[in-house]
């Protein structure tokens, strides 16, 4: 099941630099792990924004919530979730 997710990140400018660096590093490790596991299927940076647009392939909305809720940067993100379905004109099996 596919979900389109946009994440806009806003880390407070006065957060401890060590804490910030650690959050970003663990966020990256988690993103790589989820991509390797096949649930985070697309991940793009939005030009000129501290934001990404992603597509997740999960078994259920519950699984998606667990993934998003446990992201290290989740407390500093505005997350927008949009459920996707196969487009009748799509040729791609991966997008179905």
Give the separation between CA 20 and CA 41, rounded to whole angstroms.
26
Give the separation between CA 71 and CA 54, rounded to whole angstroms.
14
Is residue 20 a contact point for its own copies (CB under 8 A)? no
Residue 96: DSSP 8-state: -
Which tokens belong to 93? 């099996």
Is residue 43 a contact point for its own copies (CB under 8 A)? yes
User: Which residue's CB is nearer to its own copies, number 21 or number 28?
Assistant: 28
Residues forming the site for its own copies (CB under 8 A): 1-5, 12-13, 15, 27-28, 31-32, 35-36, 41-49, 52-53, 55, 60-62, 64-65, 68-69, 75-76, 79-92, 95
């Amino acid at each position: 099941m596919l979900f389109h997710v946009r994440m806009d990140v806003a880390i407070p400018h006065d957060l401890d630099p060590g804490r910030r660096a650690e959050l970003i590093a663990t966020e990256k490790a988690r993103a790589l792990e989820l991509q390797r596991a096949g649930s985070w299927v697309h991940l793009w940076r939005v030009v000129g924004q501290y934001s990404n647009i992603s597509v997740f392939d999960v078994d259920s909305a519950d699984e998606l919530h667990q993934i998003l809720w446990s992201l290290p940067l989740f407390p500093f993100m505005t997350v927008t979730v949009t459920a996707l379905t196969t487009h009748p004109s799509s040729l791609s099996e991966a997008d179905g």
